[in-house]
């Protein structure tokens, strides 16, 4: 079986790497829509259109299960893809997001640590925050949950363009409202943010941080175990292919920062 | 006659406004490809494809002359559009960029002020710098010109996402190499940068700044006077339409910052 991993850009390489480490026997096809990144500042309609095109591409390239690693796409497009596109076109295949695993992990962590009066924080793109998807998923699991959301629109460009040395005052401003409301448990709700994890942790001492890279691969293994009908790795050691819709020197450098062990990016024509 | 003004996003609204002030009798159709902005970090091939689609859209909507207000698109796509696409599809129409007017204005300024040993500086996106287009155009006019180029990849996201209060140390770092080489005349080679003009000027005291918004409308008027065959305004007071490929709360806010007198953005389907 081939697992597709889709992200708007290259941040999802972190999740792809974690999945490959957890499930090395599966084929994996990564797709980063680098010609149109970022998604997090775009409208819901545009995010749906782009995500739909990406999912379609991965299915046409024989992925049986797709992880939408992009939080923005998970928040704004996933339910509609699962409810409309999938039943009509690929009723036997699956598309999973990264929001529910993170929400589950945050709620589990609070209960495991016995935190009284937990306050969940969500740091994400503008589109993800605006969608209210994290609110919905956390509240489903814990109806009385207290949740504070914060959009952090400058972090993706800072991370992608080597501006991390300027990030501290910006991170400080973004986390201030979270600190003020006594957040106990913070979800990093964008694939890029784990790159700044230690800076965010320093700005929020004592706060538990939920990183999707730690959570998603284990949840995916569980999912495959519960669904043996789709669990059929075709090789001992999977084949791992990483494709981007636009290949630049920048994307090469960013990929090398995330995959210091080396990675080969293949360029494909745009999806639109 | 209808003038098309194309930009990858909304920065080109500044040039559109200057053109409308200079030539209020012409119809004007602005197109911002906000669904795929920014272009400045993408590859030459992708920038050509996107610019080609935009120019095609504006011609199909009856523009007889197009200003490519985006420096990145002017640098990476304009010559090919003028040499290949135009003769084949619209031999009677024109597509002009914003690089040559800026290069001419910079060289004129140096000669008018009698600056001995001028050093031209160019601040622009990575793609524009990498293309070498400003080097080529300045050198055509002044073969012995000393030119220093500097990519400023973080400025566009800072400007678009309300991060200008964090811009000073970043601007300081970008202009340092220009200062070190004794730049006398700086071209703001991206439609967004005039928003930070005073900050850039403070970081480079005594340096003349060439702002395309001041230059392009006059050059366009001259061009129309030299080409009476295309100069036929159809109304006393032109009709001005502003279209974007993605409409968000953000784009509305950014447009209002640039057009405090009010502007109505129309959403159109994507170009891809």
B56–A contact, CB cutoff 8 A: no
The C-alpha atoms of residue B138 and residue B120 are separated, in whole angstroms, by 9
Contact (CB<8Å) A160/B126 = no
Q: Give the per-residue pLDDT at B231.
A: 63
Position B240 pLDDT exceeds 60: yes
Single out the residue of B36, B157, B45 nearest to residue A53, CA to CA. Answer: B36
ipTM for the whole complex: 0.91
Element at A149 (helix H, strand E): strand A146-151
At B243 the pLDDT is 98
- At residue B232, the pLDDT reads 66
Strand order of the β-sheet with B27-32 is B94-96, B65-68, B2-7, B27-32, B240-244, B265-267
Distance of CA A221 to the CA centre of its chain: 16
- Reported confidence tier of residue B39, pLDDT bands at 50, 70, 90: very high
Chain B touched by A46 (CB under 8 Å): yes
Instruction: Assess contact for B181 and B156: CB atoms under 8 A.
Output: no
What pLDDT does A237 receive? Answer: 76
Q: How near does any CA of chain A get to the CA of B43, in Å?
A: 6
Contacts of B162 in chain A (CB under 8 A): 153
Closest CB to A248: pick one of B35, B42, B163: B42
Contact list in A for residue B158 (CB cut-off 8 A) is: 154, 157
Tell me if A170 and B169 make a contact (CB, 8 A cut-off): no
Q: What is the pLDDT of residue B228?
A: 85
Query: What is residue B235's predicted lDDT score, i.e. its pLDDT?
Result: 55
Handedness of CA B91, B97, B101, B104 (dihedral sign): negative
Decide if A78 contacts A95 (C-beta within 8 A).
Answer: yes
Which pLDDT value is given to residue A232? Answer: 66
> Which pLDDT does position A229 carry in this prediction?
80
pLDDT reported for residue A9: 94
Measured between CB atoms, does B182 come within 8 Å of chain A?
Answer: no
pLDDT recorded at residue B234: 59
Q: Which residues pair with A148 in a beta bridge?
A: A121
Q: Say yes or no: B49 contacts chain A, CB-CB below 8 A.
A: yes
Predicted local distance difference test score (pLDDT) of residue A234 = 59
Q: How far apart are CA A51 and CA A54, in angstroms?
A: 5
Sole residue written with tokens 């339409």: B241
Say if residue B236's pLDDT is above 70. Answer: no
Q: Is the model more confident about B101 or about A270?
A: B101
Where b means 16+ CB within 10 Å and e means fewer, A188-211 reads bbbbbbbbbeebbeebbeebbbbb
Q: Which residue ranges form the domains of chain B, and what is each CATH number?
A: 2-97+214-267 (3.40.50.1860), 99-211 (3.40.50.1860)
A interface mutation test: which of B8, B32, B131, B154 has the most A CBs within 10 A? B154
Interchain CB distance below 8 Å, B126 and A166: no
Is B28 annotated as catalytic?
Answer: no
Q: Which residues of B touch A159 (CB under 8 A)?
A: none
Chain A touched by B41 (CB under 8 Å)? yes
Contacts of A169 in chain B (CB under 8 A): 166
Segments of chain A scoring below 50 in pLDDT: none
- Helical residues (DSSP H) of chain B, grouped into ranges: 13-22, 44-60, 71-76, 78-80, 86-89, 99-113, 126-131, 133-141, 155-160, 167-180, 197-203, 212-226, 249-258
Chain B residues near residue A157 by CB distance under 8 angstroms: 154, 157-158, 161
Asked if residues B243 and B130 have their Cβ atoms less than 8 Å apart, the reply is no
Nearest to A42 among B35, B46, B163 (CB): B35
Task: Summarize pLDDT for B165-207 with one digit per residue, the tens.
Answer: 999 999 999 999 999 999 999 999 999 999 999 999 999 999 9
């Amino acid at each position: 079986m081939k697992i597709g991993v889709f992200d708007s850009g290259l941040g999802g390489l972190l999740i792809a790497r974690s999945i490959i480490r957890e499930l090395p026997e599966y084929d994996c096809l990564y797709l980063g829509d680098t010609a149109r990144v970022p998604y997090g500042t775009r409208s819901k309609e545009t995010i749906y259109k782009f995500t739909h095109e990406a999912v379609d591409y991965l299915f046409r390239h024989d992925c049986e299960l797709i992880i939408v690693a992009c939080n923005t796409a998970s928040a704004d497009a996933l339910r509609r893809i699962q409810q409309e596109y999938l039943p009509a076109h690929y009723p036997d295949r699956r598309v999973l997001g990264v929001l529910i695993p993170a929400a589950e992990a945050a709620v589990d962590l609070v209960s495991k640590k016995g935190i009284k009066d937990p306050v969940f924080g969500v740091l994400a793109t503008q589109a993800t925050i605006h969608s209210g998807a994290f609110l919905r998923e956390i509240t489903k699991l814990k109806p009385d949950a207290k949740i504070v959301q914060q959009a952090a629109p400058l972090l993706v460009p800072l991370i992608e363009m080597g501006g991390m040395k300027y990030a501290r005052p910006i991170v400080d401003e973004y986390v201030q409202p979270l600190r003020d409301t006594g957040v106990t448990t913070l979800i990093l709700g964008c694939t890029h943010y784990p790159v700044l994890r230690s800076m965010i942790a320093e700005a929020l001492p004592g706060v538990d941080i939920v990183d999707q890279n730690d959570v998603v691969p284990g949840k995916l293994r569980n999912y495959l175990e519960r669904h043996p009908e789709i669990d059929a790795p075709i090789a001992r050691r999977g084949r791992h292919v990483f494709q981007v819709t636009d290949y630049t020197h920048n994307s090469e450098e960013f990929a090398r920062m995330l995959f210091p062990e080396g990675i080969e990016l293949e360029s494909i024509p745009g999806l639109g």
